[in-house]
Structure 1
Amino acid sequence: MERQLTAARCAVVLVHYNSAGDALACLRALHGLRARPACVIIADNASRPAEREALLTGWRALRRSGGCEPPAALRPGQTPPATDALFLALPENSGFAGGNNAALRLLLTAPAFDGIEAFWLLNTDTEPEPDALEALCERLNARPEAGLCGSSLCYAHAPDVAQAAGGCTLCPLTGRTTFLLGGSARSQLLTADPAAVEARMAYPVGASALVRRRVLRTVGLLPEDYFLYYEDAAFGIEARRAGFIPAWAPKSLVLHKEGGSTGARGGGMPHQKTARSRLMDYLAIRNRIYIIRRYYPCFLPAALASLAGVALNRLRRGQFKRLPLVLRAAWHGLRGRMGRPDSRDIA
């Protein structure tokens, strides 16, 4: 029989890229958790030296104020010490999945972390409330058949408005994703039936998801070919196909600033315009087509046809120069040209 999950058997994994201010706010929130995790590890995706140093300096000061040892800094391939704080400096920006995977490989293979049974993948632009990790553990304990669990995400700039009840739906016809209970009042998250929400969930939002060790052992790590966006959807599909259903912990409340590393702010809230960079636009469209090609190929014609609506939206916004980017992104997704885009892809 599987042991009950507790915070002390969980590790927190953060991926940082040029957002030291957000990351330090997240670390302060983690410092205030009522139940402490076994370890917090930050994988730095080759941030600018000033951002990296600001984060390390701030984290050291935060830990000193709590009477803790400073975080151990290391590079890939180095053996980590038995510690509850690690800073992993990566040589290049390997994307959201690549950064998470670098940290997960270390935690899964180092003997010092054999007792860790679940991994809390958490964005650096989030601020979890004090009971957030305990609530995730409690929900997975109540649902032993579930392999991964999402939090109740609310907007940091509008904390009474829900971004997502744990996860998203995924339409196989178009590749579009929709936040569950997105835009509803925060109070509604605490009164909704979690089982009903879980029945509709395709995958937990990657901004805050607790994943059991056995899921990673069975399914593997996060898919790195997406670079950014849709990797949590693809991982959720793989987990479900392996027999692991997703869960939602309503009382795991996490504030999300959304777009801390990409600069995308304000998206997702009703009646609020989405500020998308060309990089965001390219990745969202390319990866949307690619995920349908990979998992629902019979619906690929419908997914491609749905991009007419995307193009129309760009025209309505006066973004006429985005049309070649939409076509290029769709073509690359169709061809399977994935990974980190270069400047020509988003020109």
Structure 2
Amino acid sequence: PLLTVNVSICILNWEAESLTVCCLKQLLQLKEIEGHADNISIIVVDNNSQDGSDYSIHKFIENASYEKIHFLRNTTNSGYAAGNNLAIRYALEHLSPDFVWILNNDTLPTADSLTQLLEAAKKQPSVAIFGSTLLDENGLVVECAGGSYYSPCLSTYKHALKGLTIEEAAHAELPKPLDYIEGAAMFVRAEVFRTIGLFNEEYFLYFEELDLIRRLPSGSHIDWCKKSFVRHIGGASMESKVAEYHSNVSALMYTRKYHPYCFPFMAVFRFTAKLFRNILTGSWSLNEALVSSYKHYFLSR
């Protein structure tokens, strides 16, 4: 059947040419695109890369067989939320999407992954945001079933149905409603962004998807699209000083805003738990980032 809705797919790149190009190649194999639907647009934002990857990605887009790929350059590396907002804002202003599909550049959607999301969205009009079945790098084991569960007083999360095989997940049900959809693959009704605004750019990395869920209009829901599969080839790649620093700052910001009753305990627990973890693993540079993040957060308030 002819695709009758508009979908904008948003991809954010920062100095990861090979990942972004692989993701784009995979998107060009979507059934809808191979079926010559002209209702799908892809927006790639480069978050001020300094390694020349923006030039290489732009050349790939110029030579691609699909014409509806838009390339935007950010003037600064403003983080995940702001970088994706640039793409979302462009889509809302120029492309009139019904849905916005936000994908990490280290994801590889299967050919019918979008088809399954569109069918789920048609059957469940009250669901504002769907999450796909995120698979590990080999595409054999579930990384998360759409999203995760979050413990605000511990600032810890648990991926839904993590570790199940594809076959096991096909017959599984979520033990309880998800707390949030994983930012690596978020299929969002465009009306959500028109109603509540975009991602909160105060979060440089992490917690922006939790913040978005907290702002959903009353009566809106989130859910797992079981049959939409997306491989996440970089799912365990964010162990760095930058990631450590921003994850702590974002956790403190989010908890102070939405769970103030948890904030004192959470701040102490998170710092202590991470300190001991880093000592036990010999990750001294992560402890530097931990201390720096707490100093920055508390001294700047």
Normalization by structure 1: what TM-score? 0.79
Please show how residues 51-66 of structure 1 align to structure 2 within 5 Å: 51-63=53-65
Aligned to 1:38: 40
Q: Tell me, in whole angstroms, the C-alpha distance in 1 between the residues paired with 2:91 and 2:286.
A: 41
1:91 aligns with 2:75: yes
Aligned to 2:20: 23
User: Would the alpha carbon gap of residues 317 and 215 (structure 1) be closer, same or farther in structure 2, given more than 3 Å must change?
Assistant: same
CA drift at 1:7:
7.6
CA drift at 1:217:
1.5
Q: Tell me, in whole angstroms, the C-alpha distance in 1 between the residues paired with 2:196 and 2:155.
A: 22
Kindly tell me the number of residue pairs found equivalent between the two proteins: 294
AA at the equivalent of 1:246 = I
Q: Tell me, in whole angstroms, the C-alpha distance in 1 between the residues paired with 2:170 and 2:58.
A: 36
Aligned to 1:330: 294
Q: Tell me, in whole angstroms, the C-alpha distance in 2 between the residues paired with 1:321 and 1:248.
A: 37
Report the secondary structure of 1:169's partner residue. Answer: strand
Contact 2:241 2:285 survives alignment (8 Å):
no
Report the secondary structure of 2:30's partner residue. Answer: coil
CA drift at 1:58:
2.0
AA at the equivalent of 2:80 = F
Q: Tell me, in whole angstroms, the C-alpha distance in 2 between the residues paired with 1:229 and 1:7.
A: 34
Report the secondary structure of 2:213's partner residue. Answer: helix
Provide the aligned C-alpha RMSD in A: 2.1
AA at the equivalent of 1:24 = V
CA drift at 1:254:
0.4
Aligned to 1:181: 161
CA drift at 1:89:
1.4
Aligned to 1:345: none
Aligned to 1:249: 225
Q: Tell me, in whole angstroms, the C-alpha distance in 2 between the residues paired with 1:88 and 1:324.
A: 34
The one-character-per-residue Cα deviations of 1:173-214 (angstroms, maximum 9, x if unpaired) are: 122122111122222222222xx35x4311110111111111
Contact 1:7 1:134 survives alignment (8 Å):
no
Please show how residues 121-136 of structure 1 align to structure 2 within 5 Å: 121-136=102-117
Report the secondary structure of 1:183's partner residue. Answer: coil
1:9 aligns with 2:6: yes
CA drift at 1:276:
1.2
Q: Which runs of 5+ in 1 are unaligned?
A: 70-83, 266-274, 338-347
Q: Tell me, in whole angstroms, the C-alpha distance in 2 between the residues paired with 1:6 and 1:96.
A: 30
2:281 to 302, 317, 324: 317
Aligned to 1:290: 253
Q: Tell me, in whole angstroms, the C-alpha distance in 2 between the residues paired with 1:7 and 1:301.
A: 50
Contact 1:143 1:247 survives alignment (8 Å):
no
Aligned to 1:159: 139
CA drift at 1:323:
3.2
2:180 to 203, 219, 241: 203
AA at the equivalent of 2:246 = L
Contact 1:163 1:183 survives alignment (8 Å):
yes
Contact 1:147 1:211 survives alignment (8 Å):
yes
Aligned to 1:150: 131
User: Would the alpha carbon gap of residues 55 and 331 (structure 1) be closer, same or farther in structure 2, given more than 3 Å must change?
Assistant: same
Q: Which runs of 5+ in 2 are unaligned?
A: 34-38
The one-character-per-residue Cα deviations of 1:210-245 (angstroms, maximum 9, x if unpaired) are: 111111112110011111111111112222x64321
Percent sequence identity over aligned pairs? 26
Report the secondary structure of 2:249's partner residue. Answer: helix
Q: Tell me, in whole angstroms, the C-alpha distance in 1 between the residues paired with 2:87 and 2:206.
A: 19
1:300 aligns with 2:284: no
Contact 1:6 1:134 survives alignment (8 Å):
no
Q: Tell me, in whole angstroms, the C-alpha distance in 1 between the residues paired with 2:50 and 2:256.
A: 35
Contact 1:215 1:244 survives alignment (8 Å):
no
Please show how residues 243-282 of structure 1 align to structure 2 within 5 Å: 243-258=219-234, 265=237, 276-282=239-245
Normalization by structure 2: what TM-score? 0.91
Q: Tell me, in whole angstroms, the C-alpha distance in 2 between the residues paired with 1:44 and 1:250.
A: 31
Q: Tell me, in whole angstroms, the C-alpha distance in 2 between the residues paired with 1:187 and 1:332.
A: 46
